[in-house]
Amino acid sequence: MQGADYPQDWSYRLICVDENAATQAAKEVFGDRIFDLKPRNSSRNGAFISLDLNCSVLSEEDKKNLNTMLLKQSGIKMIL
């Protein structure tokens, strides 16, 4: 089985309580890197929203590091 070719496009589904906080968290993690963040769904009671974050990852390690850094942000509760 061959490894994946990098860089490659990747998507994270972020679960958060506030879109602005999640946007700020993504900006902090990605810095100057290009990413696209779009609202997806909200829970019935409006307590949580999901956002699709699309970006380019440079390697498997980069993908895991971004995931870890995103989860450390207070504006992000979970990543699917």
What's the rounded Cα separation, in Å, for the pair 38 and 24?
13
1 domain residue, yes or no: no
Residue 3 lies in a domain: no
31 domain residue, yes or no: yes
Residue 24 belongs to domain with CATH number = 3.30.70.260
Under the banding of pLDDT at 50, 70 and 90, the label for residue 7 is very high
Domain count along the chain: 1
Residue 22 lies in a domain: yes
The secondary structure of 9-76 as a DSSP string is EEEEEEEES-HHHHHHHHHHHHTTS-EEEEEEEE-TTSS-EEEEEEEEESSHHHHHHHHHHHHTSTTE
pTM of the model: 0.87
pLDDT 10s digits, 26-79? 999 999 999 999 999 988 887 899 999 999 999 999 999 999 999 999 889 999
Range of the domain at 56: 8-79
Residue 20: inside a domain: yes
